[in-house]
Amino acid sequence: MSYIVKIDQFEGPLDLLLHLISKSKVRIEDVSITQITEQYLEALDSLEQFNIEIASEFLVMAATLLHIKSCMLIPKTKPSLENDEDNDPGQELITRLKEYKMFKEAGAKLRERERYFSGVFYKHPEKILAEFDREVFPEHINAELLKEIFIQLINIKKNNVEQKLETKLYEIERDTVTIQEKASLILDILDKKNEFTFFSIFDQHHSHLDIIITFLALLELLKENKLDVWQNTVYGDIRIKRRINYG
By CB atoms closer than 10 A (0-12, 13-18, 19+), residue 49 is: exposed
Tell the smallest beta-carbon distance from residue 15 to another protein (Å).
8
**What is the total residue count of the chain?**
247
**Residue with Cβ nearer another protein (113 or 164):** 113
**Residue with Cβ nearer another protein (117 or 235):** 117
**Residue with Cβ nearer another protein (98 or 193):** 98
- Rounded CA-CA distance 140/134 in Å is 12
Which residues are at the interface with another protein (CB under 8 A)? Answer: 11-15, 57, 61, 95-96, 98-100, 102-111, 113-126, 128-129
- Rounded CA-CA distance 42/7 in Å is 12
Tell the smallest beta-carbon distance from residue 96 to another protein (Å).
7
**Residue with Cβ nearer another protein (94 or 221):** 94
Q: How many Cα atoms occupy the beta-carbon half-sphere of 19 within 13 Å? A: 16
Tell the smallest beta-carbon distance from residue 167 to another protein (Å).
53
Tell the smallest beta-carbon distance from residue 156 to another protein (Å).
38
CB contact at 8 A, 153 and 189: no
